[in-house]
Amino acid sequence: MISLNVNGKEYKADVAEDASLLWVLRDHLKLTGTKFGCGIGECGSCTVHVDGKAERSCGMTVVK
Ligand code: FES
């Protein structure tokens, strides 16, 4: 079980630590505002802020 703070709200998800941040946001937390585009870090449609820095969530694991 992992815990995430997204936009000031605490969430828990029963996922592996190496799960994709994008798919944890979309599929587990139902935060579908984060979009899937290319899946290879090129298009930017999955961009989220992580600790104040813009990151491509498709290329990140949910736990750094
Ligand atoms: S889906 Fe295109 S950069 Fe992540």
pLDDT tens digit string along 4-63? Answer: 999 999 999 999 999 999 999 999 999 999 999 999 999 999 999 999 999 999 999 999
- Has residue 64 got a pLDDT over 90? no
Q: Is the CB of 26 under 6 A from ligand 1?
A: no
State the residue for tokens 């984060």.
Answer: 34
CA distance 60 to 1: 18
Question: Quick check: 51 and 60 in contact, CB under 8 A?
Answer: no
pTM over 0.85: yes
- In this structure, the number of other CB atoms found within 10 A of the CB of residue 28 comes to 17
Atom of ligand 1 nearest to the CA of 46: 4
Atom of ligand 1 nearest to the CA of 42: 3
CA neighbor of 32 nearest in space, from 22, 41, 42: 22
pLDDT of the residue at 57:
97
